[in-house]
Amino acid sequence: MIEFNNVSLCLNDRLVLNNLSFKMDPGKSVLLVGSSGAGKSTILRLILRLIKPTSGKIIIMGKNTSDISEDEMNKIRQKFGLVFQDNALFDSLSVEENVGFFLIENLHLPYEEVHRRVIEIVTFFGLEKFLDYYPSELSGGMKKRVAIARAIVTHPVILLYDEPTAGLDPLSAKKVVDLIKNLRENFDVTSLIVTHEIHHFVGSIDRLLMLKNATIAYDGAPDISILDHFEEIEAQNNCKPGEETYGNL
């Protein structure tokens, strides 16, 4: 379904990904972890060809994304759902309009059908009382739920989550994690979850990919010992003596 073959990417003279290779099978839930700046979100952008690799092949649904036109790529993109780290909700549209946006734009459904589907999905997400609210009027957790609702409403084949629990309080984060689990059970959708907050997702994934030094350091079952090792790396990365940290602010 998604295949990376020796993909390398250089951004601003920095090697972000080096000969990265992995394959994702349908129906599986994969967790991609790595420390901040390791290139996790970049992989999502590569999958959707929002950026192009410096070298290597990315094959999505049997098609090499480097060889296809923008129109063909757009058709592939319409089979994905992407939840952005900062939600990327349209701030001039209400919750209902945000969730229904791609139903109108991509599927060209009539208003009644859009409304029916939106109501169905926002009810599932517990947002039915907030249909007329604008993103600026919602809490962080609610915005995240709207973003996930917008991603799932078009019935995508693959769902990509970019740091779905980042910036949320523990309670909201748990709600979002439960929601992702529910979606997998109810909609049987293939998921790729990018995060550095592994502990939230332990027990609800089929496979773990760990990024380290621009390549995949671990690919296999979600092993607790690996997670401990990852947390050590994370701690080391966060506490380098004399490191300037203001650049990340």
Partner 1 sequence: MAKTINKYLGRFKLSTPYKSIWNIIDWLKFSFKTFINFKQIFRYRGETFKQIYILGNQALPLVIFASMFVSMVLTLEWGKKLEPFGAKLMLGRIVSISVIREIGPMVTGLMVAGRTGAKIVSEIGNMVLTQQVDALRAYGIDPIKRLIVPRVFASFIVMAPLTILGDTMGIIAGWFTAVIFSGVDSQFFWLSVRDGLFLKDLIIGIVKPPFFGFLIGVISGYFGYTIQGGAEGMGKAATRTVMYASIGVLVLDFILTITMLQLY
* Residue ranges that bind partner 1, judged by CB under 8 A: 45, 48, 50, 70, 73-78, 80, 82, 84, 86, 88-91, 102, 105-106, 154
**Nearer Cβ to partner 1, position 74 or 123?**
74
Of 101, 94, 195, the residue nearest 151 (C-alpha): 101
**Nearer Cβ to partner 1, position 90 or 235?**
90
Sheet holding 215-220, edge to edge: 80-83, 158-162, 190-195, 29-34, 207-212, 215-220
180, 204 contact by CB (below 8 A): yes
**Nearer Cβ to partner 1, position 84 or 124?**
84
Q: How far is the CB of 157 from partner 1 (least distance, A)?
A: 13
Q: Give 212's strand partners.
A: 215
Q: How far is the CB of 74 from partner 1 (least distance, A)?
A: 4
Q: How far is the CB of 84 from partner 1 (least distance, A)?
A: 5
Distance between CA atoms of residues 34 and 217, nearest Å: 10
Residue 102's Cβ-count burial label (10 Å; 0-12, 13-18, 19+) is middle
**Nearer Cβ to partner 1, position 95 or 208?**
95
Of 185, 223, 225, 228, the residue nearest 207 (C-alpha): 223
167, 136 contact by CB (below 8 A): no
**Nearer Cβ to partner 1, position 33 or 76?**
76
Q: How far is the CB of 196 from partner 1 (least distance, A)?
A: 19
List, in sequence order, the alpha helices (H) in the chain.
Answer: 40-47, 70-77, 95-105, 111-124, 140-152, 170-187, 224-238
Provide the total of helices (H) and of strands (E) in the chain, helices listed first.
Answer: 7, 10
Q: How far is the CB of 134 from partner 1 (least distance, A)?
A: 13
Q: How far is the CB of 248 from partner 1 (least distance, A)?
A: 13
Q: Amino acid letter at 248?
A: N
Q: How far is the CB of 181 from partner 1 (least distance, A)?
A: 23
**Nearer Cβ to partner 1, position 72 or 243?**
72
Distance between CA atoms of residues 203 and 45, nearest Å: 26
Q: What is the DSSP letter of 109?
A: -
**Nearer Cβ to partner 1, position 78 or 94?**
78
